[in-house]
A and B are shown apart, each in its own frame.
Chain A
Amino acid sequence: MRDIAIISFAQTHHARAIEQENEVEMLQPVVVDAIAKAGITKDRIDFVCSGSADYLAGMAFSFVLTLDAVGPWPPISESHVDMDAAWAVYEAWVKMQMGKADIALIYGYGKSSPGNIRRALTRQLDPYTLQPLWADPVSLAAIQARSALDTGTVTTEAMAEVAARSWRSAQDNPYAQLKGDLAAADVLATEPFVDPLRRHDCAPITDGAAAVVLAAGDVARELCERPAWIRGIDHRIEPHMLGVRDLTTSASTAIAAAKAGVGDGPIDVAELHAPFSHQELILAAALGLGDDTAINPSGGALCANPVMTAGLVRMGEVAQRVIDGTADRGVAHATSGACLQQNLVCVLEGE
């Protein structure tokens, strides 16, 4: 296996609506920033891989237009996933393992503001028995939350504490959309939104983008004083039918965590892509995280959730802490689909 590391990370100041910029205009400064932080020029990039959703842009192959943010001339080697860009990192990692690239640029972006994201995301469901019901992700997550509450896997108070802690942590994150000196009691004092979920239990609707640069072996060491080495990366998926899954646990996360080697050493920091507060509790249990791990110091997806990007941001947030020396070993997680259907786990470590 080749040693492959994240050597730079950049993101937008995430917002409810970035109205005056189109996708290219929103993304381009982030791409430029990530390349500059990597200390390279564009011509050194061997492979570009992105994550975005055509269903948000409203047209097929919308990502081709967004390549203008990178500048695809002279011709570049490029790929795309209609998934969170954390999976674009995985694709690039595989390509680099094959020896096909030494430096890769990965970016993700999502503008949810022009449409109705709850309705748009129903289109990822089974087209025969779920799409006609327009079963939106908040309603489905609320069913999952109630299952977890009914079985005692989580409590309303623990969910509120996750939300409040996320908002408090985000006060130190200049890129976060939501932040504040919030207490669990403040959350519990609010009305339910989609019962049993309150607004603070749910990720906000966000426009935003992010990018990372990956480099292999000595190239990474040459460019970065302390690269964030990918020591393990794995992703697993569960059946699309909610009824056949145990929604109170995350079996796919537990398998991915074991394959990625999460338990092989102490975890200083974990960035978990949990768009709903109860999901952070389910994920932390599946990953076997203890009290000695700082969870979502960035505020996590509850404080900024750019679609197809929030998982990549988790990887970037952990990598940045390894790069700047504030963490030695961390885990980043990304999710996709209804109720944590698909999960990616990545272990990042300094040398």
Chain B
Amino acid sequence: MAEPELLVAPNVIEYPFSRTTGPMIGAFMTALREGFIVGCTAADGRVIVPPVEYDPDTAEALTEVVEVGDAGVVASWSWVREPLDGHPLDRPFAFALITLDGADVPMLHAVDTGGDVAAMATGMRVRARWADEREGSILDIACFEPEGAR
């Protein structure tokens, strides 16, 4: 018996949620819109970026917002050879955990080396490439790039 013909229909799924950002993520997003980066001081004194409302170890409320640099060191990274829809870059790039200057905890973002995996290394310095138009989003940082790239 021949295989039955499969009926196929598109099903576009969207989750158009609106969210309030709260005191810490709100401060982070506001800073990004203005072109700088903030974190927060955790209970043990570590500076965490992006800032969090509650301490990851003790769960106590955190309130102290501190500015950090927009450059830092790659703590670890992966190399995306074939970017997916939605990825920050449409050519090969790195997702990286980046410890910004003045921070103790790395944050995730993308690093653009022009598609060159050989230019990536743990411990390398990278700097934020800011988006031309900023609206208070993690995407206000278009990506990071090797320091001194331009």
Contact = CB atoms under 8 A, between A and B. Distances in A.
Interface stretch (A28-36, A124-132, A279-287): A124-132
Interface string B26-49: 001100000000000000000011
Contact of B85 (A119, A130, A133, A247): A119
A128 B77 contact: no
Contact of A129 (B3, B106, B110, B138): B138
Given A147-B75, A192-B79, A241-B52, 10 more contacts: A58-B11, A115-B13, A119-B86, A130-B108, A133-B139, A142-B78, A144-B76, A146-B122, A243-B108, A244-B105
Given A128-B138, A133-B110, A193-B81, A143 B95 contact: yes
Contacts of A140: 78, 95, 108
Interface in A121-155: 122-123, 127-130, 132-136, 139-147, 150
Interface of A: 19-20, 55, 58, 114-116, 118-119, 122-123, 127-130, 132-136, 139-147, 150, 192-197, 239, 241-244, 247
Nearest to B22: A128
Contact of B139 (A127, A132, A145): A132
A38 B110 CA distance: 51
A55 B11 CA distance: 12
A195 B106 CA distance: 20
A194 B80 contact: yes
B4 to A, nearest CB: 7
A129 B87 contact: no
A241 B79 contact: no
Contacts, number: 115
A139 B122 contact: no
Contacts of A194: 78-81
Contacts of B66: none
Nearest to A128: B25
Contacts of B81: 192-195
A134 B11 CA distance: 20
A130 B110 CA distance: 11
Contact of A241 (B11, B29, B105, B139): B105
B84 A116 contact: yes
Contacts of B63: none
Contacts of A133: 87-88, 95, 108-110, 138-139
Interface of B: 3-4, 6, 11, 13, 15, 17, 19, 21, 25, 28-29, 48-50, 52, 56, 75-81, 84-88, 95-97, 105-110, 117, 122, 137-139
A146 B108 contact: no
Nearest to B32: A129
A244 B78 contact: no
A192 B120 CA distance: 15
Given A132-B138, A133-B138, A143-B77, A244 B95 contact: no
B126 to A, nearest CB: 14
B97 A143 contact: yes
Contact of B96 (A58, A143, A197, A239): A143
B6 A243 contact: no
A123 B15 contact: yes
Contacts of B52: 241
Given A20-B6, A128-B29, A136 B107 contact: no
A172 B110 CA distance: 42
B80 to A, nearest CB: 6
A195 B116 CA distance: 13
B93 to A, nearest CB: 10
A145 B78 CA distance: 9
Given A128-B29, A132-B137, A134-B84, A146 B77 contact: yes
A135 B21 CA distance: 20
21 contacts: A19-B6, A119-B85, A119-B86, A128-B25, A133-B95, A133-B110, A133-B139, A135-B95, A142-B78, A142-B95, A143-B95, A143-B96, A143-B97, A146-B78, A150-B122, A194-B78, A195-B79, A239-B56, A241-B105, A243-B49, A243-B107
Given A119-B84, A247-B76, A139 B6 contact: no
Contacts of A114: 11
Contacts of B97: 143, 147, 242-243
Given A195-B117, A241-B48, A143 B17 contact: no
A220 B108 CA distance: 49
B87 A134 contact: yes
Q: Which of A20, A128, A134, A145 has the most CB of B within 10 A?
A: A128
Q: Which of A122, A243, A244 has the most CB of B within 10 A?
A: A243
